[in-house]
Structure 1
Amino acid sequence: MRRVMHGYIRAVDAVNYRIGRIAMYGIFVLMGILLWSSISKAFFLPSLWTLEMAQFVMVGYYILGGPYSLQLGSNVRMDLLYGEWSIRKKAWFDLFTVLMLIFYLCVLLYGAVSSTAYSLGYWGTEPFSYLGGVVIGTEEIGRMERASTSWRPYLWPIKGVMVIGFFLMLLQCTSELCKDILRIKGETI
């Protein structure tokens, strides 16, 4: 079992490390969009797409970088008591908090999947109505969701990024859970 946990930790950490390193460059994309927004407002007609595109890039940057941040341990902690605890006591506390985070991420992932299904034109009540290729509920295909602004972009791409980001964060949390279990058993990671 320990070998499986170590393999899972290595695989998830490697995927999130690479995606996180790529997502770091999203800040430069964001800066480019905001620079173009400033230039176009000062010298040309203002671009309609810059504000929303900057928001979309920021969402991708934040959500895809979250698992990488969690992996590095760069999330904010209250170090008043935690810093003085032993590694094993920290692992017990982290195990409890990561279980709460996993529950929260499952709720977020469910909502993100249903919202993405809605934005792709599925107007049913359950996004997971297909089980093994069998239709459980009724399906109604509508038109794809667009933003209500003057630019009117489709919303499914950013909602898809949110689904991927929440899923990667869930994988990283289970990796952290495995690390905590191994630390409690006295292993070094």
Structure 2
Amino acid sequence: MQALLTLSRAIDALTERVGKATVWLVLIMTVISALNAFVRYAFDYSSNGWLEIQWYLFSAIFLLSAGYTLMRNEHVRIDVVSGHFSPRAHAWIDIIGTLFFLAPMAVAVLYLSWPIFVNAYLTNEHSSNAGGLIVWPVRLLVPVGFGLLILQGVSELIKRIAFLQGLIADPNAKVQGPSAEEQLAEAIKKQRGEAV
């Protein structure tokens, strides 16, 4: 079990890096969106490419952050019902949900999305919009995002089993600490301090 917990920590470290990098995409997307709106209203000019880049970034944020959200226990739960369960019952629900719902769905999406990405890459597919972007990078986000989600699902499964064996603390316990937004604000402050 210790080897599996080591694997789980490695997956968590990867997920943490991807999640924290993805947070920066929110800032980039916001800046692009604001500039795009300013140029559209101030100069009566718009570009499909700039609109599509916003969509691509939104897709990246959503898909690449799924595993991070799972790791941080921030996914949607029905707290009115689950709030009455013991930590052990939560662990069992998570194990069953991972094995019978999360894993089959994520593997199916990964399996079905890979050929779509390969086809888009081989044909150098472009958006049908005038001035649109190439499509394969955003098509690649689907299998990558679901691949990361599968990895994190494995990590969460390992943690739930280890918890049931009494080897680790409750993985469903909410971590008290700064939110992702607070962490981003702190990183921006550090960047500014280094630049000065």
TM range (shorter): 0.7 to 0.9
Q: Which residue of 2 aligns with 1:157?
A: 137
Q: Distance in 2 between matches of 1:68 and 1:53?
A: 23
The equivalent of 1:90 in structure 2 is 90
CA distance in 1, matches of 2:126, 2:113: 16
- Distance in 1, matches of 2:138 and 2:5, equals 33
CA distance in 1, matches of 2:80, 2:162: 25
SS in 2 for 1:120: helix
The question of 1:182 aligning with 2:162 is answered yes
Q: In the alignment, does 2:30 pair up with 1:50?
A: no
Asked if the contact 2:48/2:132 (under 8 Å) is kept, the reply is no
The alpha-carbon deviation at position 23 of structure 1 amounts to: 0.3
Match in the other structure for 2:176: none
Question: After the TM superposition, which residues 1-189 of structure 1 pair with which residues of structure 2 at under 5 Å, given as runs?
Answer: 2-44=1-43, 45-99=45-99, 100-121=101-122, 143-189=123-169
> In the alignment, is the contact (CA less than 8 A) between 2:52 and 2:132 conserved in 1?
no
Contact 1:40 / 1:47 at 8 angstroms: preserved in 2?
no
Partners of 2:154 and 2:36 in 1: CA distance? 40
Deviations 1:27-76 (A, max 9, x none): 11111111111111112222232221110000001111111111000111
Indicate the SS of the match to 2:48: coil
Matching residue of 2:183: none
Structure 1 consecutive aligned stretches of length 4 or more whose deviation exceeds 6 Å: none
Give the structure-1-normalised TM-score. 0.84
**Which amino acid in structure 1 is aligned with residue 38 of structure 2?**
I
Aligned partners of 1:47 and 1:154: how far apart in 2? 14
- Aligned partners of 1:155, 1:91: CA distance in 2, in Å? 40
Q: In terms of mean alpha carbon deviation, does 104-113 or 35-44 score higher?
A: 35-44
Normalised by the length of structure 2, the TM-score is 0.81
Secondary structure of the residue aligned to 2:80 is helix
Which residue identity is paired with 1:73? N
- Is contact 1:88-1:184 (8 Å) kept? yes
CA distance in 2, matches of 1:48, 1:154: 12
